[in-house]
């Protein structure tokens, strides 16, 4: 590539990515990362000439993005709940719609009392760390069966200086031995194995995405395992697919949960279903 200024590099990249949503934003994020600056710096120095190394890094990033690799994996991080999360190919990229689950959880967690929460299938730690950052007096357990994902989550706790989170490698609550919980939250795999959207998600770990039984098998298994682990009146909250609200409500109902409701996300789609553990 010939010597290019920041402005020229961005123009070239936008043309390369023109078929993709967010081409302009991706171009800026990738260029900022390639030259180790932030996006404000790019706007301040549009005439800065990229070194050969910087230009070749940027070219490589744009070529990977053109092939469909998510920007978050190329730069190795993603913003969620105003925190910066390291992400790798072992972790799902945290999605903006998952902030609804965090919001609903926080509405139910007192800010002046001890409270114990488990985040099942924590991945990068997005949900557990967002909750823990807002409720320093609470203890949040972050569980995942994937050891590499848990290592990323632990690194994210350290980089965000959050110390009220404990980590455990386990399949859901099958080995839980830490007493009764006030709340369980989970964004489990919920994509059906034959869902056509999977074709757009080839970079993310299939174990983070896909569940049998029309995407409901993990939600069903987790719900069954919560029996005996939640305090009476404790909360269970699931993120799920836009067309799974009725099925998840029924799963919670059959397990004896009360005050079950489904909450829509900002796009108006069913996204989170929650219920209260029966007081018996
Ligand atoms: C949809 S991802 C959610 C990641 C993260 N909580 C988020 O919202 O970005 C589901 C997570 O569940 C984990 N998982 C899948 N099966 C599991 C199991 N049987 N026990 C524990 N974790 C599991 C995956 O490793 C993955 O990290």
pLDDT in tens, 115-167: 999 999 999 999 999 999 999 999 999 999 999 999 999 999 999 999 999 99
User: Residue 34 and residue 40: Cα distance in Å, rounded?
Assistant: 14
pTM for this prediction = 0.95
Q: State which H helix or E strand residue 235 sits in.
A: strand 230-239
Instruction: Give the chain's length.
Output: 280
| Domain range summary for the chain, segments of one domain joined by + | 6-75, 89-276
Work out which ligand 1 atom sits closest to the CA atom of 121: 12
Q: Please tell me if the domain spanning 6-75 has the same topology as the one spanning 89-276.
A: no
Q: Is the CB of 126 under 6 A from ligand 1?
A: yes
Residue 238 near residue 251, CB atoms below 8 Å? no
> Which of 88, 92, 271 to mutate for ligand 1's pocket (most ligand atoms within 8 Å of CB)?
92
Q: Which residue has the tokens 């682990």?
A: 229
The CA 208 to ligand 1 mean position distance, Å, reads 5
Reply yes or no on domain 6-75 having CATH 3.40.50.720: no
pLDDT at 242: 97
42-66: average pLDDT: 96
* pLDDT tens column, 211-259: 999 999 999 999 999 989 999 999 999 999 999 999 999 999 999 999 9
Phi/psi of residue 244, nearest 5 degrees: -110, 5
Q: Within 13 Å of residue 84, how many CA atoms lie on the same side as its CB?
A: 4
Architecture of domain 89-276: 3-Layer(aba) Sandwich (3.40)
pLDDT at 280: 60
The CA 154 to ligand 1 mean position distance, Å, reads 15
Closest CA to 137 of 169, 161, 114: 114
């Amino acid at each position: 590539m010939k010597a290019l200024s920041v402005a020229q590099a961005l123009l070239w990249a936008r043309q390369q990515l023109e078929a993709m949503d967010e081409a302009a934003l991706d171009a800026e994020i990738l260029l900022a990362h390639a030259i180790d600056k932030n996006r404000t710096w790019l706007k301040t120095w549009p005439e800065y000439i990229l070194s050969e190394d910087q230009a070749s890094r940027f070219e490589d990033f744009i070529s990977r993005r053109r092939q469909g690799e998510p920007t978050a994996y190329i730069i190795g991080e993603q913003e969620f709940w105003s925190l910066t999360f390291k992400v790798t190919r072992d972790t799902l990229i945290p999605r903006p719609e998952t902030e609804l689950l965090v919001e609903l959880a926080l509405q139910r967690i007192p800010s002046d009392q001890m409270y114990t929460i488990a985040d099942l299938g924590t991945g990068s730690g997005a949900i557990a760390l967002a909750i823990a950052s807002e409720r320093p007096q609470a203890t949040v357990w972050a569980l995942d069966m994937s050891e590499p994902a848990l290592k990323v989550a632990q690194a994210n706790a350290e980089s965000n200086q959050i110390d009220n989170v404990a980590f455990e490698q386990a399949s859901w609550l099958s080995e839980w031995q830490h007493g009764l919980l006030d709340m369980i939250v989970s964004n489990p795999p919920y994509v059906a194995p034959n869902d056509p959207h999977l074709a757009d998600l080839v970079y993310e770990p299939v174990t983070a995405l896909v569940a049998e039984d029309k995407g409901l098998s993990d939600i069903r298994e987790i719900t069954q395992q919560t029996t005996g682990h939640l305090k009476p009146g404790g909360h269970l909250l699931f993120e799920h697919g836009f067309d799974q609200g009725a099925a998840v409500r029924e799963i919670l109902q059959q397990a004896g949960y009360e005050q079950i409701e489904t909450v829509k996300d900002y796009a108006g789609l069913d996204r989170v279903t929650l219920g209260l553990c029966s007081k018996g």
